[in-house]
Structure 1
Amino acid sequence: MLDGRGGLAYRRVLEERDMVDAVQVTDPCCGHGEGPVWDPRTGRLLWVDMLEGDVLGLTPGPDQVVRHHLDTVAAVVRPRAAGGYLVAVERGFLLTDPELRPTSRLPELWSDPGRRMNEGGCDPAGRFYCGSMAYDMRPGAGELYRLDADLVPRRVLGDVTISNGIAWSRDGRSAYYVDTPTQRVDVFDYDPDSAALTGRRPFARIDSADGAPDGLTLDAEGGVWVALWGGGEVRRYTPTGRLDVRIPLPVRQVTACAFGGPDLRDLYITTSRLGLSEPEPAAGALFRATPGMSGLPVTPFGA
């Protein structure tokens, strides 16, 4: 196994092997686990049981899971700069206090009961991006929204089918994005001042036989880690788009990943048991790997 602490040692090991082990850290506690994020203020990991409308918290050590029910859907959660949390719910956004008790609900973005929010994240300036999808996954029914500190949502991208992972480079000038049925991780040029997304192009292509791209995160060296739904693994792509690390898991439906822990060197991985035709005992559990490099700290929502 990799000892995971020295960058040079990590590269020497990868010359012999590009696989990193993961360990299961919770029971199968989610129907559809998604959206992990490390909150440095509390020293805990948060993630969602999306279609139950719950936000879960894990404090490392005793590995105790605490569940907070918020809505019919809890798509993604992020810390707020002002304290408390921002949660994307079925048709919009909810603000909470530090104990994840709702304090205010923003107006719904649509009335169509056939659509829901799905995944999102904050840019380096604290703007929150979150995308939607149709429950029946019909093509082009989803959109990508941006929520600024003024709490006004703005549509920034249309003709999306399953809006999924989004994350930014350390300098804030590149945004990596997944619309799952495209079988790609795309990259945009990003203007940190104007928040303009331009120059969309493929960064990495995933063969459909290997699974479909889902949630993603970046490490401090610019590598892009993407979870493969139906593929039973997380992959790292170098800044040039070359596959160089794989983390296999004992479940097929791997949904998202995020770096956490006090030094951001643990990679937490969420999984799902949604719609499984055959039982998988660990589906819905949270996993952790130590790949030998650190992640980027989460940027809190700027309001």
Structure 2
Amino acid sequence: MSVAIFDDRPCHLGEGPLWHPLRQQLFWFDILERRMLSRRDGAALEWQFDEMASAAGWVDADTLLIATETGLIRFDPGTGRQERLADIERDNAVTRSNDGRADPMGGFWIGTMGKRAEPGAGAIYRFHGGEVRCLVEGVSIPNSICFREDGRLAYWADTAEQRIFRTPLDPDGWPEGPHELFLDLAPEGIHPDGSVVDAEGGLWNARWGAGQVARYLPDGTPDRVIDLPASRTTCPAFGGPGFGRLFVTSAREGLSAPHAEDGTVFELAAPVAGRPESRVRL
């Protein structure tokens, strides 16, 4: 399978790719360097923040909801204007935001973690209707936040535990049952990072340290594995015409001798089409 470099700017910790369906534009983050990146009409774009930022959802053609180190902000990529909407662990200097995604009911899920990956320091929250509610506590490295198309099932992972879980959701998008184990990847030595669900319900997961993206069927059966030129793949996203392209961010964090490809964003034809990311309803 042919893999191309979509953007060759090396990220220290590339994460949070989001294809904006109205702008037809990919956004992603370099968390540790406090910047958001993008490309449009062939031009490389970049926005610098005063604190770490890690994930985003789209609100309308001119507005993103961005998760930062201390909360959620409304952001206009055209003007750079930002407005704080909610605090999340603002008084906790140990943690920062990590993986996040909008759910089909218009809410936004965001995980927090220790800046030094302190065990159990993080949590997973949901922002909906102006309210922030903690859903999961004691998470070390929250990742893989994504949703079944009907919004009645959420996936999430603790990378440190090497496990992906799923949570049944009620019609408003709130958990209505206990968290269930979806995949235990510890026996294979796999550390699951970010994930996204395709149009057929398959879960695509980036494998930190393995240089791979793997697809799992809804029942957890492994379907396929794609090798990439960077060892620390972090998160996949679908985009492009018909959501037929797969983009994958990567990182060079912790690598003593990174290659040129480490930290770049990759692009390839998606073997299975994706679907548009849900809109955040403020």
Q: What is the TM-score when the length of structure 2 is the normalising length?
A: 0.94
How far did residue 107 of structure 1 move?
A: 4.9
Could you say if the C-alpha distance between residues 174 and 194 of structure 1 is closer, same or farther in structure 2, counting changes exceeding 3 Å? Answer: closer
Find the counterpart in structure 1 of residue 54 from structure 2. 75
Could you say if the C-alpha distance between residues 82 and 282 of structure 1 is closer, same or farther in structure 2, counting changes exceeding 3 Å? Answer: closer
Q: Does 1:238 align with 2:220?
A: no
How far did residue 197 of structure 1 move?
A: 4.7
2:10 is aligned, of 21, 24, 29, to 29
How far did residue 291 of structure 1 move?
A: 2.7
Distance 1:162 1:298 in 2: 23
Distance 2:212 2:60 in 1: 33
Confirm or deny: 8 A CA contact 1:115 1:135 kept in the other structure: yes
Q: Does 1:298 align with 2:259?
A: no
Find the counterpart in structure 1 of residue 171 from structure 2. 192
Q: Deviations over 1:89-121 (max 9, x none)?
A: 111111112426133113533312111111111
How many residue pairs are counted as aligned between the two chains?
Answer: 281
Find the counterpart in structure 2 of residue 143 from structure 1. 123
SS at match of 1:231: coil
Confirm or deny: 8 A CA contact 1:254 1:271 kept in the other structure: yes
Q: What are structure 1's unaligned runs of at least 5 residues?
A: 1-19
Name the one with the larger strand percent.
2
**Aligned-residue identity in percent:** 35
Q: Does 1:38 align with 2:23?
A: no
Find the counterpart in structure 2 of residue 133 from structure 1. 113
Deviating 4+ runs (over 3 angstroms): 207-211
How far did residue 217 of structure 1 move?
A: 0.1
2:75 is aligned, of 96, 107, 130, to 96
Q: Deviations over 1:243-282 (max 9, x none)?
A: 1111101111110001000210101000001121222221
Counterpart of 2:118 in structure 1: which amino acid? Answer: R
1:217 is aligned, of 191, 196, 200, to 196
What value does the CA root-mean-square deviation take over the aligned residues?
A: 1.8
Distance 2:201 2:168 in 1: 15
Distance 1:168 1:242 in 2: 17
User: Which structure has the greater CA radius of gyration?
Assistant: 1
Find the counterpart in structure 1 of residue 44 from structure 2. 65
Find the counterpart in structure 2 of residue 153 from structure 1. 132
92-101 or 124-133, which deviates more: 92-101
Q: What are structure 2's unaligned runs of at least 5 residues?
A: none
Distance 2:280 2:185 in 1: 31
SS at match of 1:288: strand
SS at match of 1:263: helix
Find the counterpart in structure 1 of residue 161 from structure 2. 182
